[in-house]
Amino acid sequence: MTVYVVRRLGVSVFTLVVASMLVFLGVRAVPGNPAIALTGNADLSPGAIAAIERQYGLNEPLPVQYIDWLRQIVTGHLGSSPVTGLSITSELAGAFPITLELTILAMLIGIVLGVPAGIIAAVRRGKAADYAGSAVALFGLSIPSFWFGILLILIFAVKLHVLPASSYVSFLTSPASNLSHMIMPAFVLGTGVAAVLMRQMRSAMLEALRADYVRTARAKGLPELRVVLKHALRNSLVTVATVIGLQIGVLLSGVAVTEDVFGLSGVGNLTINAVFQRDYPTIQAVALITAAAVIVINFAMDFLYAYLSPRVRVEGDAQ
């Protein structure tokens, strides 16, 4: 297992380095003078351009600029946005908790709804529960999250007046108010996760239930509930780890649009505003942090995968 984990770690570090180079070079691909691109202001005087080039080190060779930029990101000194003049670090620090809470709640809802639904559908294969669960999952997979969010707002905020339509209250200020604001957006995202998890859990469980070790467990007279929950489920949980790793990118896109619909000033909203304001340093910072988050989560899932699956634990080292 050690060899496997070390190798995955190496791959992750390599991916992170390449990803950071792409993010860094992306801004250089903007047509025109980098100083103008960086500030988004096309009417700069030659003196102002020179000043910006000095401030952002644009006269240095590219590798030096890249290292400087990495150092800024790692130490958290991202400077101020050339558009808003606000500190990028504090902007991100304000937006991050909202996005993190939304993502964690969505994941929890997704796992709580999706995993049991997948198990039940597999065990009751071909029965009414399977068809109903599979149909609901297919709907969840096909529904646009932003439309679902708008429908929930129409029903619960506009018609029934039971939940607030938008805005955010910190959990520390008022936990009840915080949750009443977060429940709709978290549910919208969570159902999307649940749909994918349910489908994957179902096929993983179907496969596990056909395996020899499950037949052995049944043959030696274990109660069916124990066979399903102990023997088959443990192997199927590997699937959950894989799906979470693969879904995190889709989830992040969903987070951005859900923040938009529900008026939450999280990282997604910050990013979209930055795009329309051509605020390149902010976009770069968000892009690198997001890519790094995806890579770290995938590494964590690889680790979990190795821990949960004896096959990977043993054979992973030999490959």
Partner 1 sequence: MSLTIAPDPAAMLEVAARSDRHWWRRLLRRPPAVIGLVGVAVVAIAAIFAPLLSPYSPVAVDPAHFLAPVFSPGHLLGTDELGRDVLSRLIYGAQPTLEVGVVATGLALVVGVPFGLVSGYYRGAADMIAMRITDVVLAFPYFLLAVGFAAIFGPSLPNVVVALGIASLPGFVRIARAEAMALREQDYVQAAIVTGVRDRVILFRHLLPNMIGPVLVQATLTIPGAILGAALLSFLGLGERPPTASWGTMLADAQQHLFDDPWLAIMPGLAIFLTTLCFNLLGDGLRDLFDPAMS
Binding site for partner 1 (CB under 8 A): 11, 14-16, 18-19, 22-23, 26-27, 29-30, 138-139, 141-147, 150-151, 153-154, 158, 203, 206-207, 210, 246, 248-250, 252-254, 256-257, 260-261, 271-272, 274-276, 278, 280, 283, 287, 290-291, 294-295, 298
Most distant CA atoms of the chain, gap in Å: 84
117 in Cβ contact with 194 (< 8 Å): yes
Orientation of helix 267-276 relative to helix 233-261, angle to 10°: 50
Nearest to 252 by CA among 305, 291, 298: 291
Helix (H, G, I), strand (E, B) or coil at 90: helix
The answer to whether the CB of 283 falls within 8 A of the CB of 29 is no
Enumerate residues 6+ apart whose C-beta is below 8 A from 235. Answer: 204, 208, 211, 308, 309
CB of 172 vs partner 1, minimal distance in Å:
29
Q: How far is CA 47 from CA 35, 50, 96, 105, 183, in A?
A: 11, 5, 37, 50, 52
- Residue closer to partner 1 (CB basis): 47 or 212: 212
Q: Across the strands, what pairs with 80? A: 87
Residue 167 has phi, psi (to 5 degrees) of 80, 175
**Residue matched to tokens 């992750």:** 12
Answer for the pair 259, 98: CB distance below 8 angstroms, yes or no: yes
Nearer to partner 1, 112 or 138 (CB): 138
Torsion of the alpha carbons at 97, 99, 100 and 103, rounded to the nearest 10? 160
